[in-house]
Chain A
Amino acid sequence: MSPSNGPNGLLTRRSLMAGAGGLLATATLPACTSASGPSLLTLHQSKPEAIPHFSELAAEFTSSQDRFAIQHDIATNLSASFVRNSPPDLGCLNYNLEMGRFMQRGALADLSDLPEAAMIREDVAELADWYPTYEGRTSVLPYSVTAASVIYNRRIFEEHGLEVPTTWEEFLTVCETLQSADVTPIYATFLDPWTIAQGLFDYTVGGMIDVRGFYQGMSEIGEDVGPDSEVSFQRTLLEPVQRMLELMPYLNADASNRAYGDGNTAMAQEQAAMYFQGPWAFGEIEKAGADLDLGTFPLPMTEDPADLKVRVNIDLSLWIPEAADEQEGARAFLQFLMRPEVQNPYNDAFLAFGTTKDAPAVTDARISEMQTYYDQGRFYMGASQFIPNSIPAQNYIQSIVGGADAEQVLARMDADWARLAFRE
């Protein structure tokens, strides 16, 4: 028994070591193989609907020259890659407060010397500066802008002899008319808090107050934000929020247990006349497959039609991290993406507005009504987009439409804002 034991034990140990060695070898192999041939360039792009589109563009760029090959990354955690100091070479993402942090800390390279930076409309380029900036750098090039406003069903409007309203009074009249004809005026989906924040809340706030000025004031006042400060949630936003609550009677009765998907289905089935959503919802409404005649109009919040504005956001922006290994390639690929014949088809396909000075007008009938507002710079970014994630603003807003006292909730948002400012 014992003689056979010895070699056996030894063998097990040896094979174990060999196995471990083999595993290490396989793990390090991929790193070695990428050294030859064109240098590998990572594009981080994770907007799901656009993944096939950008995969095609990446392949097209890779085959158009022989110096760089594009790897299309849709899965890596962006923050982790910055922490690891191995960020993507080019980012093509939604630009928001979270991305702004990378900008603020100087993690993104300056692109102001690129001719493409000068191609972008000034008021659009400035949208990126609504978020924290880094002194003297233009690092974020807006690639496409989505404009959102009230989606309405033209057929239902015509059926009831309604015109697109341009004042708050007219808007309420439209709601009244629809309701008395037993048509749900507005479809809301309270189950998904973000739909309330970006729709009801952002439209009412953005239509009444100067969003940028408000948040500039809020940042300056910081930890002293409260009931007596010059601007505050509880003082500045109370009126818009009360107007938002005036719309509650015109919503579908089951709003509190309907989610985003239900809303899209309901709009596809013409269950309601209006829907406070952005162009991203059109694709989803289309999935439910109906032949609809939909349009958009900015929510009128005052009695002056000249105050009409649409809500915009930077759907995609291009940036290159300071720590990217392949700056030159990233710039070349960025320039490729910014070519009009590459950029315009994207905006066309995804119902977004072009960001360059000579971008063509949108052609889709569902969003073309917003073109004039976009061209004239009559837009604002959503107020809910400037509240850091540490403050559960969406849930607070959800509780307001759910029946909580608006003044108290807004006061709590002020307290949260002040606490956060104190901590930072």
Chain B
Amino acid sequence: MSTATPAAPAAPASSAPTTQPARRRRGAVGRDRVNWPVTVLLMVGSLAVLVPLFVTVNMSLKTTEQAVDGNAFSLPDPLTLTSFVEAWNLTNFPRGFAISIFITTIAVIGEIVISALAAYAIVRNWDRRAFRWSFFYLLAAMFIPFPVVALPQIQLTGMLGLDNPLGVAILHIAFALAFNTLLFTAFLRTIPLELEESMRMDGAGTWQVFWRLILPLLGPMCATVGIFAFIASWNDFMMPSLIISDPTLQTVPVLQNMFQTQFSNSYNVAFASYLMAMAPAIIVYLFAQRWVMSGLTQGAIK
């Protein structure tokens, strides 16, 4: 404590002079001074998010005439919601939105359940060679990006009749399997075997152990995987654009592609459409913020 006092005059002590004594007594580290370098960094960081968001909202409320005048920051005058109407109609938003939700829901649930099952089987049978090698086999898939196998995937899904949203969801699950299994196995190793043994003593089978004990214990990791799965699946452009053959079953990001062309700009309509597409991600984030924060570091430790 005493070592901190010489430095105090240099720091802007004026920030909260009245409450200083009380804080000192509590002795919380770094609470009596504003950490300016970090504050500035955080301010820049939040501006990097807020400024584009402001421009997006701002642009979406402008008329076409005002949107192309080259001033992104000027306030909308007159304020209009016609861009939203136009974007809604052009992309047939409700249908695209429903398809996107369909794919994302299957992908999120599928990725959590299938990867957790795979990880559980692998970790509990680590001493058997087949399981160990299957783990390495799954991990090897991390080195194969989708674009490399895009053409065969298009042909395969076409042959199997999976050139539709369901096929995209299945591919999302398959391509994320490697990374998700890695996350789950790392976490599973920290769950003591004794818990499981005591449950088996009471007569539970493997399935019951998994559904009633392991999956609930994997909760934080499920949140992490779920969040990654949601973002990846919701925002994916390439896979649906290549795999889905029926234009009426296309997802929102692919439909929105029509706003980005070489020869024309319709910023207001484009931004209105992006806002509508972003809405679920923002809402999910608002509710899941707590888990996102804890979840992001979850995989980092082990």
Residues of A within 8 A of B (CB): 1-2, 5, 9, 12-13, 23-24, 27-28, 30-31, 42, 46, 48-49, 51, 71-77, 80-81, 83-86, 194, 260-262, 264-265, 280-281, 283-284, 287-289
Contact = CB atoms under 8 A, between A and B. Distances in A.
A73 B247 contact: yes
30 contacts: A5-B204, A9-B205, A24-B166, A27-B166, A46-B258, A48-B259, A49-B264, A73-B247, A74-B247, A74-B258, A76-B241, A76-B245, A76-B250, A77-B241, A77-B242, A83-B158, A84-B157, A84-B245, A85-B158, A194-B262, A260-B262, A260-B265, A261-B68, A261-B265, A264-B68, A265-B69, A265-B70, A280-B264, A287-B65, A287-B68
Nearest to B166: A27
B255 A75 contact: yes
Contacts of A27: 162, 164-166
A262 B70 contact: yes
Contacts of A48: 258-259, 261, 264
A419 B212 CA distance: 61
B70 A83 contact: no
A2 B204 contact: yes
Interface string B195-234: 0000000111101100110000000000000000000000
Interface residues of B, number: 46
Contacts of A281: 263
A280 B263 contact: yes
Nearest to B162: A27
Nearest to B90: A51
Contacts of B205: 9
A33 to B, nearest CB: 12
Contact of A288 (B69, B90, B161, B207): B69
Contacts of A28: 161
Interface string B149-164: 0010011011001111
Interface in B234-268: 241-250, 254-255, 257-259, 261-265
Interface in B9-45: none
Of all A-B residue pairs in the complex, the 9 with the closest CB atoms, nearest first, are A84-B158, A73-B247, A280-B263, A27-B166, A75-B250, A80-B242, A289-B65, A265-B70, A83-B154
Contacts of A194: 262
